[in-house]
Structure 1
Amino acid sequence: MELHDLWFVLIAVLWTGYFFLEGFDFGVGVLTKVLARDRTEKRVLINTIGPVWDGNEVWLLSAGGATFAAFPEWYATMFSGFYLPLLLILVCLIVRGVAFEYRAKRPEERWQRNWEHAIFWASLLPAFLWGVAFGNIVHGVKIDSGMEYVGNLVDLLNPYALLGGLVTLTLFTFHGTVFAGLKTTGEIRYRARRLALRLGAVTALLAAGFLVWTQVDRGDTKSLVALLVAVAALLCALVTTARGREGWAFALSGVTIAATVAMFFLTLFPNVMPSSLNEQWSLTVSNASSSPYTLKIMTWCTCVAAPLVMLYQGWTYWVFRKRIGTQHIADAH
């Protein structure tokens, strides 16, 4: 395997990790208005992701940094062409982080309620926009012979990409609902299970339509396998949720996300950003990559750093593995 092919796979793994981990905390952020009935339950939901949300975002930084270093042409074209959507995602992530940190700094109800609104919207919008962005990458965008994006914002809001946004929004929210059932106790746990069943059915319909569209448009045998795995895992997640097996349901919803991301990258390869104007103008793993020497240095650094980061993050999840409920929330002063 060539080094640029290896780094394409590694970037796919990084995006998979990001969507698996950040997906459920986006979902929990949405649930603060959908599932929680009062301020105490909102605090319970926020506390389920409080120790881990910032660590989950490390995967995004790693994916962006790896793309910049391994495929600079891909990075430049994507970030210039998708400037406004990616800027909106960045603003949402900043606001969301500030909201988590500042919400409890003052006791006034209005202060905390405003930050809770920020958590909701700054979780919902990125969950939708990531699907729009990846939908456009897979479907193809207007790239000219100079590897420059020549379209506009309206071109990015096509039906395929918008459906992709709805799929990621509902899938992440379903993933977060299953996580809420896994991490909470009491009444909120059982309401999360009931909501997951309803939300999972909607997600299955949207995801099936989107993945079939992807398969018909650009798929092959490998992407078909990923499609079948994604659909089967989602259906099994619904079954295990109905049976109250939250751990299995969460693992299976994660497999659904991983298989969906795998299908994205399988339909792309050997392209990294197809051109809708001329197939010959597409960015590929070879014409968009860095030099072999650069990729070799990156590979050695990754072999050293990646296991340490994953061990530390795994330890964090183990430490904060216990369920929480309204009885664990101290009275506000």
Structure 2
Amino acid sequence: MELTTVWFLLIALLWTGYFFLEGFDFGVGMLLPVLGRDDTERRVLINTIGPVWDGNEVWLLVAGGATFAAFPEWYATLFSGFYLPLLLILVALIVRGVAFEYRGKRPSAGWKRGWDWCIVVGSFVPALLWGVAFANIVRGVPIDADAEYTGTFFTLLNPHALLGGAATLTLFLLHGAVFLALKTRGDIRERANALAGRIAVVAIVVGASFLLWTQFAIGKAVTWATVFGAAAALLAAAVANRRGREGWAFLATGAAIVFVVASLFTMLFPDVMPSSTADAYSLTTTNASSTPYTLMIMTWVAVIFTPIVLLYQSWTYWVFRKRIGMRDIPAAPVSPAVGSALIRDR
């Protein structure tokens, strides 16, 4: 297998890991005012992701860095053409991160309420725009002979892309609701379980509509398997959630994310950024890649450091694996990081 293909697969794997892990972070953030009826309940929700949310974002940084190093032409065209939506995503992630750290710095209810909405918006914007971005990448955007994007911001807001945004939004909401049902106990767990059942219906309809539209437009014979896999995983998640099997439901929503990303990247290959202007202008794994020597060095680095990152993240999830509830939240207002430390030391 050529190194260009290896790195295309590795980048697809990095995005899969990012959406699997950060997806439930986004879902928890968006559900904060829905499932958190008071400050203590909202602190419970935040503490379910407090120890892991920043580690989950490492996958995004590595995916972006790998794209820059392995496929510089892809990176240049993508980040110049999608500048505004990617900037909005970046700002939203920054605002959300600041909100996690600053929410508990003052006891004022207005102060906390303002940061809570920053968490909601900072989760909603990426959950929506990542779907818009990837739908456009897979279906193709106007690119000229110089590998430059010739459209506008509104070119990206086409019906297919907006449906893709709605699909990732509802999928991450479901993933987050199931995660909360898995990580909490008591009344919050019951409400999260009930809400996940309602979100599942919407996620199945919207997700199936997007994948079928994409499949009929640009799909391949092999991608029918991943499309049906995503649908089956969502149905399995709904059934497991209804039976109160939160662990299986979470694995099923995660599997749905894996199948969706696999569908999109399989449809994309061997292109990395198709041109809707002319097929000859499309960026591929061949004409957008770095030199073979660069890819070889990157491969050795990945072989050495990837297992270390995986072991560290696995250890983090093992340490913070227990459910939390209202009684685990200290009476004094604290930041999410402090609250997480208290939970760890129980």
Secondary structure in 2 aligned to 1:103? Answer: helix
Using the TM superposition, give the Cα deviation of residue 36 of structure 1 relative to its aligned residue in structure 2, in angstroms. 1.6
Match of 1:31 in 2: 31
Gaps of 5+ in 1: none
Report the Cα distance in structure 1 between the residues aligned to 2:315 and 2:210, rounded to whole angstroms.
36
Residues 124-155 of structure 1: per-residue CA shift (max 9 Å, x gap): 11100000000100110000011110100110
Residues 229-279 of structure 1: per-residue CA shift (max 9 Å, x gap): 000000001000000000000001000000000000000000000000101
Using the TM superposition, give the Cα deviation of residue 2 of structure 1 relative to its aligned residue in structure 2, in angstroms. 0.4
RMSD: 0.7
Match of 1:156 in 2: 156
Using the TM superposition, give the Cα deviation of residue 110 of structure 1 relative to its aligned residue in structure 2, in angstroms. 1.2
Report the Cα distance in structure 1 between the residues aligned to 2:284 and 2:30, rounded to whole angstroms.
36
* Percent of pairs with identical residues: 64
Corresponding letter in the other structure for 1:192: A
Work out whether 1:8 is the aligned partner of 2:8: yes
1:182-261 to 2 correspondences below 5 Å: 182-261=182-261
Match of 2:340 in 1: none
Report the Cα distance in structure 2 between the residues aligned to 1:117 and 1:139, rounded to whole angstroms.
33
Using the TM superposition, give the Cα deviation of residue 332 of structure 1 relative to its aligned residue in structure 2, in angstroms. 3.1
Match of 2:98 in 1: 98
Residues 50-105 of structure 1: per-residue CA shift (max 9 Å, x gap): 00000000000000000000000000000000000000000011111111011111
Match of 1:138 in 2: 138
Report the Cα distance in structure 2 between the residues aligned to 1:23 and 1:247, rounded to whole angstroms.
16
Report the Cα distance in structure 2 between the residues aligned to 1:217 and 1:7, rounded to whole angstroms.
26
Corresponding letter in the other structure for 1:287: N
Report the Cα distance in structure 2 between the residues aligned to 1:34 and 1:207, rounded to whole angstroms.
22
Using the TM superposition, give the Cα deviation of residue 111 of structure 1 relative to its aligned residue in structure 2, in angstroms. 1.2
Report the Cα distance in structure 2 between the residues aligned to 1:46 and 1:270, rounded to whole angstroms.
40
Report the Cα distance in structure 2 between the residues aligned to 1:292 and 1:330, rounded to whole angstroms.
55
Using the TM superposition, give the Cα deviation of residue 38 of structure 1 relative to its aligned residue in structure 2, in angstroms. 1.4
Secondary structure in 2 aligned to 1:141? Answer: coil
Report the Cα distance in structure 2 between the residues aligned to 1:36 and 1:101, rounded to whole angstroms.
18
Using the TM superposition, give the Cα deviation of residue 40 of structure 1 relative to its aligned residue in structure 2, in angstroms. 1.1
Give the TM-score taking structure 2 as reference length.
0.95
1:38-49 to 2 correspondences below 5 Å: 38-49=38-49
Report the Cα distance in structure 2 between the residues aligned to 1:213 and 1:7, rounded to whole angstroms.
28
Residues 190-216 of structure 1: per-residue CA shift (max 9 Å, x gap): 110110010000000000110000110
Match of 1:290 in 2: 290
Secondary structure in 2 aligned to 1:28? Answer: helix
Match of 1:280 in 2: 280
Match of 1:175 in 2: 175
Match of 1:116 in 2: 116
Residues 294-333 of structure 1: per-residue CA shift (max 9 Å, x gap): 0000000000000000000000000000000111112235
Secondary structure in 1 aligned to 2:105? Answer: coil
Match of 2:314 in 1: 314
Corresponding letter in the other structure for 1:202: V
Report the Cα distance in structure 2 between the residues aligned to 1:276 and 1:40, rounded to whole angstroms.
51
Secondary structure in 1 aligned to 2:149? Answer: coil
Match of 1:126 in 2: 126
Gaps of 5+ in 2: 334-346
Report the Cα distance in structure 1 between the residues aligned to 2:322 and 2:260, rounded to whole angstroms.
29
1:13-92 to 2 correspondences below 5 Å: 13-92=13-92
Match of 2:328 in 1: 328
Give the TM-score taking structure 1 as reference length.
0.99
Report the Cα distance in structure 2 between the residues aligned to 1:90 and 1:272, rounded to whole angstroms.
22
Report the Cα distance in structure 1 between the residues aligned to 2:139 and 2:219, rounded to whole angstroms.
11
Report the Cα distance in structure 1 between the residues aligned to 2:246 and 2:174, rounded to whole angstroms.
12
Report the Cα distance in structure 2 between the residues aligned to 1:25 and 1:140, rounded to whole angstroms.
29
